[in-house]
Amino acid sequence: MIILVINCGSSSIKYQVLDMKNDNEYSLLAKGILERIAMPMSKLTHKPTGKTPVVMEMPVADHKIGMRIVLDALVNPEYGVISSFSDIDAVGHRIVQGAEYFDKSVLVDDEVIRKITVCCDFAPLHNPAHLLGIEAVSNVLPDVPQAVTFDTAFHQTMAPEVYMYALPYQYYKKYGVRRYGAHGTSHQYVSQRGAALAGIPLDNSRIITCHIGNGSSVTAIRNGKVVDTSMGFTPLEGMIMGTRCGSIDASLVPYLMKKENKTPDEMTALMNKESGFLGMSEGVTSDCRDLVDRREAGDERARLILAKLVLDITKLVGSYVAEMNGVDLIVFTAGIAENNPWLRRDVSANFAYLGAKIDEEVNAVARGSETIISTPDSKVKIAMIPTDEELVIARDTMHLVEDLRK
């Protein structure tokens, strides 16, 4: 079954085409990104498996035209990967916010569209773009079934005392103010892969997954179900990130707004786009690679920021150990945690008191493929698992379409 996986942002369309035989046998036919939609010049980077990648620049007025350009690249005789649009069996979309409406992936219908639209309120930068993507696909491929996979769905098993904030209860009832979490697809995937690799039965397990990339979150998962997660009402809460501040004293929000004469939108931008690595480095970089290079060159600020990164992860993992009364497996994933052995080593060292022991040699070279990085006698297993959210979306879409065909 050929599945087109779409991740629509406000000015971009990321895509992958997967040929799915079953859950475990599949091949990636192509992936790519169309960026800067509705700007003077857009850029398509298309990477067909086994063929030379292509980069093209052209003006793209909106997502509908963008979707057509992506599909044209997929059927191009030279760099395409399918012969016609009708080869596509289904399209799966990544959706950032599904709130309490969705605890699993579903096929798109009018009611689903209505609920995703209601959720725009919680994810004003993301959900409207996802809806544009669904509409664009409906336009270009009207007969192809579409499914949606939500970043929040895996987190829907949290208990009320975990997801409620100690604010007046009426705001939960009135506006849905609560913890929703994010990166759910990734936490679900790496926890399942990690448990399988470590030989831990998922239905009798305590797993902590650390998704550390540009956006970062840590999740506690007991018996395959989320117990707690660090992102909250929005993906701002939790730990330090590339440009996000993570959890801060809430009183700082009105304090800085008054001092700096900022509007709510400006304050939101400050916390989401001007903070984290970028803000703490006074605008030098939001990229972890630069910080590591600078720390190695003796830069004190880079040392401070990376020390905070390790501390934030440690505090979250430690609190989740307490919430689950122990941990069997810690999993590291996403750009930063997959590529920085020192980070995995330093965080793991803080759990030596639990008997967690990293294999320094294995850890130092673990990159790109699933690896157990703890020693055989470690009381807590530790793994590095490259995340693959698109695969989860493709699998879910495949199952939904199979059910539809029955």
Long-range contacts of 140-145 (CB under 8 A, 24+ apart): 140/64, 140/67, 140/68, 140/71, 140/85, 141/71, 141/85, 141/88, 141/91, 144/88, 144/89, 144/90, 144/91, 145/89, 145/90, 145/91, 145/107, 145/108, 145/400, 145/401, 145/404
Smallest gap, in angstroms, from Cβ of residue 218 to ligand ADP? Answer: 14
**Rounded to whole angstroms, how far apart are CA atoms 48 and 32?**
8
What residues are labeled active site? 151
CB of 335 to ligand ADP, least distance (A): 2
The pairing of strands 146-150 and 90-95 is parallel
Residue nearest to ligand ADP (CB): 335
Q: Is 81 exposed, middle or buried (0-12, 13-18, 19+ CB in 10 A)?
A: buried
Nearer to ligand ADP, 171 or 342 (CB): 342
Residue closer to ligand ADP (CB basis): 228 or 338:
338
For the bound state, the minimum distance from the C-beta of residue 187 to ligand ADP, rounded and expressed in Å, comes to 13
Angle at 67 (CA atoms; ends 66, 70), nearest 5 degrees: 90
Q: Kindly list the residues in this chain that would bind ligand ADP in the complex (CB under 6 A).
A: 213-215, 242, 287-289, 334-336, 339-340
Report in angstroms the alpha-carbon separations of 299 from 91, 109, 283, 284, 287. 47, 54, 15, 12, 15
Query: What is the token pair recorded at 76?
Result: 């191009």
Q: Shortest approach of ligand ADP to residue 367 CB, angstroms? A: 8
Q: How far is the CB of 366 from ligand ADP (least distance, A)?
A: 12
Pick the closer one to ligand ADP by CB: 9 or 98. Answer: 9
